């Protein structure tokens, strides 16, 4: 029995290792394509390779965000910034935020969340609805932190999902802080 158990364990281990090696490259390529698609959705027009020009910018002690600068004909047009927050109702929220060169929020894409379906999960549509001035963040300047009305700001929280709304805006504000620090890096001159 011991020999049978060792044989089955060794065979299973070898099979798992083989499957991992076979799927590692396609999974990495899929993740890379998903990232490129998110950058294209949120960033201004570009002709450079933002993934190759990416860098990390500190937004706190031991905390960095990945920045993907965009340029057209060598001129800085803005950036896509991968941000996150751990303040969500159900944990981590990851987003990609695009900024124009003047610091205005161009667009965003929610990359990952575990918020309540029908409530906090509405963040992708809620804050980008240009017909609702009280909740749309598109076009807002990144220099002033965004807050929900309950916290003294001017953004309408998602109905019955104030915690998710606060968390989402925290991730946006972190991205804005990183964008404000781009000038301190040699991104414009690349």
All structural domains of the chain with their residue ranges: 50-184
Query: Tell me: the pLDDT tens digits for 136-181?
Result: 999 998 788 999 999 998 998 888 888 999 999 999 999 999 999 8
Tell me the average pLDDT across 2-30. 92
Query: Tell me: the pLDDT tens digits for 86-144?
Result: 988 888 999 999 999 999 999 999 998 988 787 878 888 889 888 887 889 999 987 88
Tell me the average pLDDT across 2-29. 93
| pTM for the predicted model, two decimal places | 0.82
Distance of alpha carbon 174 from alpha carbon 145, whole angstroms:
9
Query: Tell me: the pLDDT tens digits for 28-86?
Result: 888 888 899 999 999 999 999 998 989 999 998 889 999 999 999 989 999 999 999 99
Structure confidence at residue 185 (pLDDT):
44
Cα torsion for 146, 150, 155, 159, to the nearest 10°? 130
Structure confidence at residue 190 (pLDDT):
45
Residue 10 in this model has a pLDDT that exceeds 60: yes
| C-alpha dihedral sign at 153, 155, 159, 165 | negative
User: Who's near 163: CB < 8 A, 6+ residues apart?
Assistant: 87, 88, 89, 120
């Amino acid at each position: 029995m011991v020999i049978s158990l060792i044989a089955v364990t060794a065979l299973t281990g070898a099979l798992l290792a083989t499957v991992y090696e076979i799927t590692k490259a396609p999974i990495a390529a899929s993740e890379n394509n998903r990232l490129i698609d998110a950058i294209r959705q949120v960033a201004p027009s570009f002709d450079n390779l933002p993934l190759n020009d990416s860098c990390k910018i500190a937004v706190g002690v031991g905390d960095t965000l990945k920045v993907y600068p965009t340029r057209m004909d060598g001129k800085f047009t803005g950036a896509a910034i991968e941000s996150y927050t751990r303040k969500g109702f159900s944990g981590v929220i990851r987003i990609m935020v695009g900024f124009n060169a003047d610091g205005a929020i161009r667009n965003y894409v929610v990359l990952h969340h575990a918020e309540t379906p029908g409530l906090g999960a509405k963040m992708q549509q809620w804050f980008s609805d240009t017909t609702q001035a009280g909740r749309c963040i598109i076009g807002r300047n990144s220099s002033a932190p965004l807050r929900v009305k309950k916290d003294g700001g001017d953004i309408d929280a998602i109905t019955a999902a104030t915690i998710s709304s606060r968390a989402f805006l925290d991730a946006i504000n972190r991205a804005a802080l990183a964008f404000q620090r781009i000038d301190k890096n040699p991104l414009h001159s690349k």
